[in-house]
Amino acid sequence: MRTLLLALALAGCSSSEPPSQPAPVTRVSKDPTAARALIDAGATVIDVRSPEEFAEGHLAKAVNLPVAQVDSRISEVVTLVGGNRNQPVVVYCAAGGRAAKAKRALETAGFTNVVNGGGFDDLR
């Protein structure tokens, strides 16, 4: 009886489903070439790194808006683009990951022309 219960318990723990696959790695989509062209044409430039990173060096036209503050400071970005959410905005950070998050936040807030410029070194 004990063997039968053990066999039933083990059978109940097994699954006919294949083991789950690891989540695919998401690549950060950045476009430094397009970002440089937009910057040269007068796009709003937002550095989403920390204030300390910004103080160590940044693009001349950049405004510092740390990625963790983007959602709560959308009104400032609206002011930067003169109220026109269709104006080009370039976001950058150290490598592109935080800029990708900021890009998504701005697009969620209705900005239609946001480019992830990648990292600071990609753009200087």
Residue 117 has phi, psi (to 5 degrees) of: -80, -5
Pick the catalytic residue from 43, 74, 91, 93. 93
Token pair of 33, please? 């070439």
Distance in angstroms (rounded) separating the CA atoms of residues 84 and 7: 67
Catalytic (active site) residue 93: yes
Listed in sequence order, the residues at least 6 apart from 53 whose beta carbon sits closer than 8 Å to its beta carbon are 47, 94, 120
Token pair of 48, please? 């989403």
Distance in angstroms (rounded) separating the CA atoms of residues 20 and 14: 14
Residue type for position 86: N
What amino acid positions are annotated as catalytic residues? 93
